[in-house]
Amino acid sequence: MRLRCTAWRNEIVDATVAAAKSGDARARAWVEAPTPLAVIVQRIKGSDQLVNEMAEPAIYRARWQDDEDVEEDNAKDAIRTQVAAELAERVEET
């Protein structure tokens, strides 16, 4: 018996929803995933969920840093840069 495309699609969706309800993590991720149209609309509006989630830690740090923290971070970065440079020199020597 040959299934029509919509009938086949409905069977796949129904089976995936049932699997998600029974605890299948991959099925749940597929069911909860945004549609391509939703992703495009978000980008047009200037909102990108992935970018927002990745930027959140940096935004949080920037929001709560004061001048002393910035100076301390700059000093730590300078030390890391110096250590990295010295390490690179020693690796080249060997």
Name the residue ranges covered by the structural domains of the chain: 1-33, 47-94
**In this predicted model, what pLDDT tens digit does every residue of 10-62 receive, in sequence order?**
888 889 889 989 998 888 888 887 777 777 777 777 777 767 788 888 877 77
DSSP code per residue over 8-52 = HHHHHHHHHHHHHHTT-HHHHHHHHSPPHHHHHHHHHTT--HHHH
**pLDDT for the residue numbered 17:** 87
- For residues 17 and 6, give the distance between their C-alpha atoms in angstroms, rounded to a whole number: 16
> Does residue 3 surpass a pLDDT of 60?
no
Burial of 10-42, coded b for 16+ CB within 10 Å and e otherwise, reads eeeeeebeebbeeeeeebbeeeeeeeeeeeeeb
